[in-house]
Structure 1
């Protein structure tokens, strides 16, 4: 029995050594479309820019595509240099958001100052950075319900990542 386990482990290790990554997708806004990127810097919480924003209802609960399927049509774009190691946003760096029938929404990549408490997604809850009234109006109009766009607040919260 032990020999079979050792053989299985060796086969799995050999397969892992031959594994190749064919593409990387990040999802800057949870439940919206992803972006295919050639490379993505790693941070303590995963790929940089991945799931940093989310759209929440008036109670601070995150919308998902299960509840709001229209979010699947929301396209997001980041500057190409945002995926370069060591790059930091400037005042002219934006997350761009577009959807059918909506004007382009630009969100500054510099951190917003307003903190929203009581934000939750699945089992996680905590504070987030509110992206302001323009983003709120855009998503409220698009979803058809009162909405806010918030950003993960790395300064005060941690988001556990499975180390495996």
Structure 2
């Protein structure tokens, strides 16, 4: 990494915009050559910037260059249930969770409002609506209609929340989380095999956040 004096301005991600540390020409040239378009690699500027999670779901929590939240939870049971409906199964990396749990009923994680893993407590933010990325085969870079087409049949906002007045045609897979514990800059660890304890759960999709 380069010295933090190299600053890139006008960096944006979703609704946030600000400055970041530019990682230099070597990294920029590598990504530009690989992607076939001018690119820069930047690092979040913690000294002067702050990016908040959506305030209507997880007030006062922050992220860096994560997509929207620091954690995305998905269960193996949910992936298996989806794959049983698909013409061809998809791997879990299509959905990019950083916490994958086993041993629960398919999609039961949707209703988890608060869970504990090891010494850490996590609170549900909102269900993760899926963009076009899960439709891209990461081995071939080819894009198809699945799994979005199948998800639309049983995981859309219209299906999950039929009484809502406004439906946006979104599909959902996984739930965003925030950690309610203080975590120092040095970090803490949760590991494969840690038990997951459900502390609070919603009774229906009418209560959860989508």
TM-score (norm 1): 0.32
TM-score (norm 2): 0.25
